Every structure is written in structure tokens, then in C-alpha cells.
Amino acid sequence: MTPKRIILDCDPGHDDAVAIMLALGSPAIELLGISTVGGNQTLEKVTRNAQSVLVMCGREDVPVYPGASHPLVHQVEVAPQIHGESGLDGVELPEPTVPVRDKHGVDFIIDTLMSEPAGTVTLVATGPLTNVALAVRKEPRIVERAQQVVVMGGAYGQGNWTASAEFNIWVDPEAAKIVFAQEWDTVMVGLDLTHQALVTAAEEEKAREIGSPLANFFIGLMNYFRKSYADNQGFTDPPVHDPCTVAYLIDPTVVETVAAPVDVETQGALTMGRTVVDMRQPAPAGCRSRVATKLDRERFWGLVLDAIRTLSEAQK
Ligand code: RIB
Ligand code: CA
């Protein structure tokens, strides 16, 4: 099977780190490069975190391109209460030994989509959508060339940063509005789906059985994440949001989706950042956006743990 070739635009972030591991450890994915965006922490911190995760995965060959530090309109809002001051608290972060690339993350997205054959590269975004929106505005032709855009963000139900808004959309609602308004195939993997991706003691035990430095790194990340989510959002087991996007690309049967139009509120005093999803069926003819609804949790965690196992074996 030909691997799905992806760009990962992210803000590591504990769950972004697991998305990177899953992308690198699955034979069904070819990770062309990482662009980073200010979100969970500042651009500088999330960029360094991406590099550290690549060191842990033994894959510093994967290029990292720093992108936008600030949202299009709003002020920067980071999430230390969830991810800590470093953005990846709870583990020792190895020093990067490969410098980040000097090309801007937005230009990496544009250049890759414009140079690779049309329809062969999928854009995966697991942070605020600032880079993706800027890329669309700078080079609108990427819209017809991207194979698909898979976004961790939003919700058709409750938000997590406000009653209305999920964090990635909250940080840059204008960018999200631009992204979901384009004529490309999008899949919104929102909280409705990712709140099913809880990591429990069972997964931690399976990771412990792998017994590698990477598996222990994963355990350390999840233990910190567990305390953050318990203290701040009342979860006993934390939802590991971002790798759900990659799992969908590895095996679309792991994540059920429905066709539904998605728009983003950018004005409401109480609803700013809400993804307004019209779940009435049937969806309008020509609707190119899909929304994730149901996760096969066991198979999802099987994919993640297999990826960690594969990466660990390759480092022996
Ligand atoms: O709301 C969860 C999302 O916001 C995840 O992508 C997490 O990493 C943060 O970016
Ligand atoms: Ca993220």
C-alpha cells in the first residue's frame, strides 16, 4: 500500500507529540515535514519540542519549519495549565542536534503542495490554523492541489476552552473560518471524537511492556497529561486528541465521519470560536467537509502502541 504523504502542522503539546510518533511509526504514513505554530506554547517552545520529539523517535531527518507565532487577529493565548511552561512538561527533553530549517512554515506548506503532484499530499493540522490560513491567502492554488485537510479542532458539541470553543479554534477563529471556507476536502476531528481517545492504565501498561526510552517518554508525557486534565478539566483519563487525525489517515474505519457543513463563529460575545456544524442530514449536495463522530478506541490505541513499538525496534 502506498503510504499517505502528509505535512503535519502542529503545536507540541503532549498530544501533538503522540501524533508525531504515530505518523513516524506507521508504515501507512510518510511524514514529509513538520511546520509549527504558536498555540499550546510560544512558537519558540513548540518548535523546540517538535525537534526533541524527533530526537526521541530517532528521526531528526524530518525537517522542522517554524511558522506563525501569533494568530491572525487575536492576542497569543498559550495553555501552560495543560502542557506546562515548556509545552511538554513531565519529561526530560533531549537537545535538538539538527537546526530548524530557515524556510517559514507557511512557505514549506505552499512549496510542498505546489511542487508535489496535485492530490498526493495531505495537510494535517493539530494546532491553531494560522499557518494553513496564511498559506491559502498567499497561494490560493494550494486548495486545488491538497489531497485533503484533516484538522484536530472544533466540536459540534461542547467546547473545552470556553463553553462554545475548542482551544485550537479559539486561539485563531479567523484562520479557522478561512480554512473551512475553502473548496477542498476537509475532515474535522473535533472534541466529539477525541474525547473518546482516552489513555488509560491499560495503555500505560502496554507501553511499559515495550520498555524502550521512547515508550518511557510516552508514559511520562501521558502521566503529566493525566494530572493536567484531572486538575483542569475533570477527566480521570485524559483525551489524546491529535493522533486521532493520523489514525484516520492510516485506517479511515477507525474514525467514523459524516458529511456536514462547518463554519466558524468569529463575532459572538459568548460563541466566539465555535465551529457551527450543520449535522442535519442529508448534507447539502457537494458538501466537501466531513466531521468525525465515532472512534474505535481499541484499534486506535493499537495503532499508537504499534507505532511506538516499531520506532523503538528501529532504534535498537
Ligand atoms: O483542544 C485540544 C487541542 O488543543 C489539541 O490539539 C491540543 O494539543 C491543543 O493544541
Ligand atoms: Ca495540538
Q: Tell me which of 195, 242, 246 to substitute to probe ligand 1's pocket, judged by most ligand atoms within 8 Å of the beta carbon.
A: 242
The overall average pLDDT reported for the chain is: 97
**pLDDT of 60 over the 90 cut:** yes
Candidates 41, 166, 167: which one to mutate for ligand 1, based on the most atoms within 8 Å of Cβ? 167
Which ligand 1 atom sits closest to the C-alpha of 127?
A: 10
pLDDT (0 to 100) of residue 76: 87
Q: Judge whether residue 5 has pLDDT over 90.
A: yes
Catalytic residue flag (residue 241) = yes
Atom of ligand 1 nearest to the CA of 242: 6
Asked if pLDDT for residue 309 goes beyond 90, the answer is yes
For 2, the 3-state DSSP assignment is coil
Atom of ligand 1 nearest to the CA of 160: 1
Q: How far apart are CA 110 and CA 52, in angstroms?
A: 25
Query: Each residue of 73-91: pLDDT tens digit?
Result: 999 899 999 999 999 999 9
pLDDT surpassing 90 at residue 51: yes
* Degrees, nearest 5: CA angle 305-48-186: 60
Share of the chain above pLDDT 90, in %: 99
Write out residues with Cβ below 6 Å of ligand 1: 11, 13, 15-16, 39-40, 126-127, 152, 160, 166-168, 241-242
Question: Furthest-apart CA pair in the chain: how many Å?
Answer: 54
- Mean per-residue pLDDT for 21-29? 98
> Omega before 213 cis (within 30°)?
no
Give the tens place of pLDDT for each residue, 179-211.
999 999 999 999 999 999 999 999 999 999 999
Ligand 2 centroid to residue 14 C-alpha, Å = 8
Neighbours of ion ligand 2 (CB under 5 A): 11, 13, 16, 126-127, 242
